[in-house]
Amino acid sequence: MTQNTALEWRISDQLISYPDALTEMEERVQAIRAGEAGELVWLLEHPPLYTAGTSAKPADLVDPDRFPVYDAGRGGQYTYHGPGQRVGYFLLDLKKRGRDVRQFVYSLEEVIIRSLAAFGVTAERRAGRVGVWVTREDGREEKVAAIGVRVRQWVTYHGISINVEPDLSHFGGIVPCGIAEHGVTSMTDLGLPITMDDLDVVLKDVFDEVFGLESRPMYLEVQPAPDSKPAKLPYEAMPTEDGMQDTSNPIEDTHPVFQV
């Protein structure tokens, strides 16, 4: 029997438990790898919780009893998810889109940046920092969106979270993504109280621009942030000027990617 392998764009209206989401993603990844299901972009919200990535430091879990804490299995450190935050899980087949993890992460960042630009927000990448950032009028830099992905045999899962109208005090139980010196903001905090429906419409249009609703090779050229070292695949050693191998800056430290 011929399987439908077209990309599915799914929006869940109810809060989805994190374990249920993990199970759904794991099963879908297996089906995509087997050619039994199409790619999936899944937009949802979670109840309040913290997730720990593969680089999470115990000291960054400031209040471990505040909300449930889950081992996410993705790259990155501690992240908060909760109502008012648009989570987007991207289960894509990079064998069809180009086997380049750095380009995939860069393209995810671009989806966020272009989507927020549609609402008048200037969001940017920052050298050596995970996520997408805005600069307030007083010069403070705050994170408005997070990224954490995993890639299994060239099928991606996990994805992004954009702060629309979450309770920002909930981020106080962790050091978000291990970055203590900068704060967290949201669209509402920036004076732009958009709805999830507003954002979802834009996300789909921008995803089509950047990735394509029908599978096609990724086309964006990765541009390193100013003054940053070139991004590398996990555990890949870059040659130094004297020919030795530099293992001090793996992509796991600068981009939340974990390849197996």
Q: Are strands 49-52 and 69-71 parallel, antiparallel or unpaired?
A: parallel
Q: Which value, in Å, is the radius of gyration of the alpha carbons in the chain?
A: 18
144 is catalytic: no
**How many Å apart are CA 210 and CA 196, to the nearest integer?**
20
From the candidates 116, 177, 203, 257, give the one annotated as an active-site residue.
Answer: 177
Provide the 10 A C-beta neighbour count for residue 138.
Answer: 5
Closest CA to 170 of 86, 89, 79, 53: 79
Residues serving a catalytic function are 177
